[in-house]
Amino acid sequence: MVILSSLQTSFLIPILIILGISAAIELFLCSINVKVIPAFVIEILIGIAIAPWFNKYIIELEMVSFINALYIVGLSLIIFLSGYEVELGLLKDNERTGSKHINVFRIALGIFIAVLSISVGLGFFMFFTQDISISEKWLQTGLLLSIVFSSSFAGLVSPLIHIQKMQNTILGKIFDIFSDLSEIISIILLSIFMIITGVTSGLIWILLVMILILVLWSRLSSRRSFFEKVTSITDYKQLPVRMLIMLILGLVLLSDLAGVEYILGAYAAGMVTRSANIKKETFKKVEHIIYAFFVPLFFVIVGTRIDIVSFVKEGINIVHVLYILIGLLVARIPMLYLLRWFKLKKLLPMILLSTTTIIVCIAASHIGVHLELFTEAFGDAIVLAGIITCIVTPIIFRVVFPLGEHTDSYRLQNLVNQEELFKDHEKRKI
């Protein structure tokens, strides 16, 4: 171990371990033709399994800071992809929901507001009924838990909806938008929470700098001629890719300096990049780098953050995890409104999938423990509950959901003024 720690290339060891594990997982799943379990689910489980050895190994090599850096960069890039998936064009649909048209954005927004309202009640119920607090800050604790219960992880929900070929269906669009809304609004609420409670001594005026950078990026990337001229007169053909990566990491840094959640900058970068007129080839290059390198690193590292052996020794910790999981599901009760159009067997797997959350859980756990709103064990319970949703609900969704049914029949060729959206709604429900 001493020999390894003295090597200049010793930092490559944990990277090779994690990438090797993720590559072996994908090869194994391909060899046995398993499509039900997403690769990231196995990566999280492997991370949990190797946590005791891996964490000890990293400490001995004095690479804790390096692994944390990989974790932050990986999380930021995944959030960037989530922001890129947001379809701002849905906001242009001004037609009300009726017998021949459904405004998917308004429906998703209304459901999220209802979910957030129930989450507030669940947050305070959790505080007053469970022994989780080490202070009397009931208002802050309740609000922080409310954000957790209303959150979702669009970075997992959206890809699974696409894998299931539901991205162009009414049901798929509603849940895709809901996951986007719940993720970005939860991140914004966490940032506001951090500012109000003084978690960090950030420089709020830096937010104005971020907005200015986003506006400039949008203007430049919308002018295709700008990058074409630069790449034509120089040898830097990868300049747009480099600038895009610099934008993401730069906004992450500025968000942290401003005292808000650093992932807010990455999400904003994704949304602006999607709305801009940037070439698809540029985005694809960045996407390949993220999925090939940073995504597997992130999910394995997420798994290594939980010490299962120590956690399960206290039975109350498991009870808290169950309470959080139940709370995430109860908060989704407003989604039953969709029974107006969809049968329960189609709706229930989507509702379960919408409970998937991890990013907000990690951030809320860190903030809560830092502010001494609740115990460190309860903070771990929040993260573990989030990990369980990332493992269980995707599997249930892919196993239970009726593959291919009505996918072609209810495609949204045009989200705005779709006159024949429910042409056979009078005959039967979906």
CA distance 108 to 132: 32
Listed in sequence order, the residues at least 6 apart from 236 whose beta carbon sits closer than 8 Å to its beta carbon are 230, 242
- Cα(55)–Cα(315) distance, rounded to whole angstroms? 24
**Range among 258-262, 349-353, 406-410 with highest mean pLDDT value:** 349-353
Structural domain boundaries in the chain: 2-400
The helix/strand/coil state of 319 is: helix
Residue % of the chain over a pLDDT of 70: 78
The predicted pLDDT at position 95 comes to 60
Q: What is d(CA 72, CA 89) in angstroms, rounded to the nearest whole number?
A: 30
- 301-325 average pLDDT score: 82
Helix (H) or strand (E) holding 44, with range, is helix 39-60
Q: What pTM was estimated for this model as a whole? A: 0.77
Between 367 and 402, the higher pLDDT residue? 367
Nearest-angstrom CA–CA distance, 166 and 159: 10
Q: What is the pLDDT of residues 17-27, one digit of tens each?
A: 888 877 787 77
123-147 pLDDT per residue, tens: 988 888 877 766 677 888 889 999 9
Q: Which of 52, 46, 60 is nearest to 17 (CA)?
A: 46
Over residues 274-302, mean pLDDT? 79
- CATH number assigned to the domain covering 2-400: 1.20.1530.20
